[in-house]
Structure 1
Amino acid sequence: MWLKTLATSPLSAITVVVLFIALLLRFYIKFDTPQRLFSAEELALFNGTDEGLPILLGILGSVFDVTKGKSHYGSGGGYNHFAGRDASRAFVSGNFTGDGLTDSLRGLSSTEVKSIVEWRDFYYKTYKYVGKLVGRYYDSHGNPTKYLKGVEAKAARGAQLLEKQKIEEAKQPACNSRWSQDEGGEVWCDVGYPRLVQRPLEIALTGKMSKRCACFEDSQLGQAGLELYEGCDYYATRCKVQS
């Protein structure tokens, strides 16, 4: 009887349609609504000082809800300086004050940029992704900017260089090493003789030239660029390392 009434009543039919649309919208909003866009001013409201709001942080323009880590990101927590802002640079610089809390990566090396991208990946895996911060990394439509694309390309380049360096250095065995407060440092080779050698890819990776200890056989000791440890005999297999 009620079905017949429903079918012949315009008002009832409209009610059913409205309820159906409401249910669809509820389902859509819950599962398919894209994450929201934040301005810097809006994001700053979610810095952990308001108990009624979630705690959010940005990294490379991606915004995450870190409320479940409230003990760390909330007011007084050790990582509260990240809350309510995008402080991407601080993830590798360790500068958590003033100008150090910035999303600018200017001047960072490819390995440092790669590390920040890996931090972003960590947040994707560990916390809830809730949206994008409009500004340096995303435009007002939520599209990635040239800056973000450049950052990701630099990080990828850093990963390639690290892999290349790893392959090259595997061709020349590394020294064994140890250090203690009482005895200082020591390097040694089970086969061959310890020498310091420059890491040619390090400038591209870190912006600095560094050296590593590798073991060279007698026939290789005449190569250019090999440096004997100070105070160590030419054919010594063990050398003390200055601290």
Structure 2
Amino acid sequence: MTTPTPTTEQENRRPEPAVGTRRPGAAASAGGNTSVPKCAWVGITAVSVALVALLIKIYPTPFSSSQQRLFTVEELASYNATDDALPILLGILGSVFDVTKGKSHYGVGGGYHHFAGRDASRAFVSGNFTGDGLTDSLRGLSSSEVKSVVDWRDFYFRSYTYVGKLVGRYYDSQGNPTKYLKGVEAKAARGAQLLEKQKKEEAKQPSCNSRWSQDEGGQVWCDVGFPRLVQRPQEIALTGTMSKRCACFTEDQLHNPGLEVYQGCDYLAKTCQV
């Protein structure tokens, strides 16, 4: 549900004098009434300003892109969807977004409620939504995982209203990016470069077709060539672990080093059970 915002009419409407009073400076009526003393109007104005300030504090207006501010961890925690009078906010890499329009997801009982009122950047890729998993630290994540977190932040910029910054790991008390944030963004950029390089390398050798069914299990096959397992060298830099993929090689290429025949599969078989 979208948080209601004041209409222009409501914002521009001025309080009308109470019945039986006149505006300051108005002439006395034929009945002899005198105008309200100027000092009285000054007092009324001061009280009105104080009352408006109090109401804004108690019932804050929804955020907009022109109301960007700095949040402390404690302040952000207040916007965790447990108070219907407040918008729902979340942080990712120190950027804070109003996700109230996604209340069905981020509200109490929603599948993403654990993100409300905090910066749980790590959980966007770890899948750990409890305890220590709900942290903004990305320490130990691979460049590919860090890139995924940055991609999530980009998603929120595209889909929700950005309202400010969270003071802490990623932004200092003046709202300036910290060395940690710059390091995260550099690592994500490196991950993007490695992914692009991996795509180009793997495009040189077509991947196998694959399918799985409960009756037959998994199968890989090649329309042209023969299926072989081959290591993905870029994967170590991307994820910190080595992985393999199935690629199709011509008979002339089968002598290349590093090619692995699937267990139980004939040397020149075009289809292999996996």
| Distance 1:92-1:182 versus aligned 2 partners, 3 A rule | same
The structure 1 residue matched to 2:250, chosen from 209, 213, 217, is 217
Secondary structure (helix, strand or coil) at the match of 1:70 reads helix
Identity of aligned residues (%): 81
1:132 is aligned to 2:165: yes
The structure 1 residue matched to 2:199, chosen from 166, 180, 183, is 166
1:142 is aligned to 2:180: no
Secondary structure (helix, strand or coil) at the match of 1:222 reads coil
Alpha-carbon offset, residue 204 of structure 1 = 0.4
Between stretches 134-143 and 74-83, larger displacement belongs to 74-83
Alpha-carbon offset, residue 32 of structure 1 = 8.7
The structure 1 residue matched to 2:85, chosen from 34, 52, 55, is 52
The structure 1 residue matched to 2:241, chosen from 189, 193, 208, is 208
TM-score relative to the length of structure 2: 0.76
Over residues 41-83 of structure 1, what are the superposed CA-to-partner deviations in whole Å (9 max), with x where a residue is unaligned? 0000000101111110000000000011111111121111000
Alpha-carbon offset, residue 176 of structure 1 = 0.9
The structure 2 residue matched to 1:116, chosen from 139, 144, 149, is 149
Q: Which residue of 2 aligns with 1:18?
A: none
Structure 1 runs of 4+ aligned residues shifted over 4 Å read: 30-34
| Distance 1:129-1:31 versus aligned 2 partners, 3 A rule | closer
Q: Which residue of 1 aligns with 2:103?
A: 70
State how far apart, in whole Å, the 2-side matches of 1:102 and 1:150 are. Answer: 17
State how far apart, in whole Å, the 2-side matches of 1:130 and 1:156 are. Answer: 25
The structure 2 residue matched to 1:229, chosen from 231, 254, 262, is 262
1:61 is aligned to 2:87: no
State how far apart, in whole Å, the 2-side matches of 1:136 and 1:109 are. Answer: 19
1:181 is aligned to 2:211: no
Alpha-carbon offset, residue 33 of structure 1 = 5.1
RMSD: 1.5
| Distance 1:193-1:139 versus aligned 2 partners, 3 A rule | same
1:93 is aligned to 2:126: yes
Q: Which one has a larger percent helix, Structure 1 or Structure 2?
A: 1
Over residues 147-172 of structure 1, what are the superposed CA-to-partner deviations in whole Å (9 max), with x where a residue is unaligned? 10111111111111001000000101
TM-score relative to the length of structure 1: 0.85
Over residues 69-118 of structure 1, what are the superposed CA-to-partner deviations in whole Å (9 max), with x where a residue is unaligned? 11111112111100000000000111000000000001111111111111
1:155 is aligned to 2:203: no
Q: Which runs of 5+ in 1 are unaligned?
A: 1-29
Secondary structure (helix, strand or coil) at the match of 1:131 reads strand
Q: Which residue of 1 aligns with 2:10?
A: none
Alignment of 1:3-42 (within 5 A): 35-42=68-75
State how far apart, in whole Å, the 2-side matches of 1:114 and 1:169 are. Answer: 20
Number of corresponding residues: 213
Q: Which residue of 2 aligns with 1:107?
A: 140
